[in-house]
Amino acid sequence: MTNLPPVKRFITHSGVRIYRLPFRFLPDLSGRVYLLLGAGPPTLVDASNGRPDAIADVLSGMEAVRNDFNETFRPDDLKRILITHAHVDHHGGLAEWVQRTGADVGVHPLDWPDIAAFDERTILSRHRFEWLLTVSGVPATNRPALLEQFLRSRRHIEGVQPTFPLDDGLQLDGLQIIHTPGHSPGHVCILVDNVLLVGDHILARTMTQQWPESTGAYMGLGHYLESLAKVEAIPGIEVALGGHEPPIDDFYKRVAVVRASHLRRVERVVQVLRKSDQPLTTAELTERVYVSQASFYAFLAFTDIAARVEYLDQRGRLRVANLDQIQQEPDAAYRYAVV
């Protein structure tokens, strides 16, 4: 059972009130949406996963905002919803909130199709992921379980047509939109004075999950690290608020820790390949780096290693050692060695 943190208020230098509203997501992981008051019309950043218990949690949080913090806000007052990225735990509740409030919806153009045409994008994403499983050397008997977890992360929800684009650099009633691709193509962070709403770009305790760019443009570790440098260059951030986990009080230190951790993991792949007496597939690398992973964690381990292999390959640090086989067999798995 997920233990939810309390509703918490953050007040920016200009007096914008940001309320953290937690909701139930996974047994060991809660999510957060943020209610912004004093920065234009009442605005919700992200929409929860849309499950009934999550919607109830957010409504309870809104009630606490009114009762415990003496705000006059009521859910019907909501006029605007900004989506940090098109993952189900962040936009799954969008249809519910739009139906309840008629709020305008802002999304970055690169994540717009995932929200407006969810079914179409899920079919295309599944096709790309099945191809990745094949060329990564995942045994045919193991593919259905990984595919099931992939589809679980994209469980069916009702598509919603966004109202306006969250373009990079957009200024919106004192809110600044910063495009930070990597975790998703259209991921954005939102700067409110000295507070940065970071979605899933940076988390306080864990490393943001990486996805191979082959499953979607503007994803991948390379884009992620570039986005990390982009937000690091913003001066004066005193606290960062993520879609999960506690606030990040020492933002710039956390950025440095996250970068170093990702780069260490990249080098771990290189070390494993150097120690191997033969070239390895991505699936074999996953087994050697992550031992005894199962279910959803096996899926996360595989996509993590696939993203790091792709990053190394794109930068010329790996070579594909079985080109003749690939030329002759359309479904041959790629076997990598260190250059």
Cα dihedral sign, 161-56-122-26: positive
What average pLDDT does range 157-161 have in this prediction?
Answer: 87
Per-residue pLDDT for 2 more than 90? no
Provide the 3-class DSSP secondary structure of residue 25: strand
Per-residue pLDDT for 268 more than 90? yes
Per-residue pLDDT for 258 more than 90? yes
pLDDT grade for 131, boundaries at 50, 70 and 90: very high
Tokens of 220: 């991948």
Distances (CA, A) of 14 to 115, 155, 173, 196, 281: 32, 39, 12, 14, 53
Distances (CA, A) of 74 to 58, 289, 313: 12, 49, 51
Mean pLDDT of the chain: 95
Look-up of token digits 């009080």: 249
Nearest to residue 195, comparing CAs of 223, 224, 229, 236? Answer: 236
Look-up of token digits 């914008």: 16
Per-residue pLDDT for 126 more than 80? yes
The β-bridge partners of 34 are: 20, 45
Question: pLDDT of 65-103, one tens digit each?
Answer: 999 999 999 999 999 999 999 999 999 999 999 999 999
Question: pLDDT of 274-305, one tens digit each?
Answer: 999 999 999 999 999 998 777 888 999 999 99
- DSSP E strands in 141-213: the ranges are 164-165, 171-172, 175-179, 188-192, 195-199
Name the strand (E) or helix (H) holding 63.
Answer: helix 52-68
pLDDT grade for 155, boundaries at 50, 70 and 90: low
Q: Which residue has the higher pLDDT, 31 or 216?
A: 31
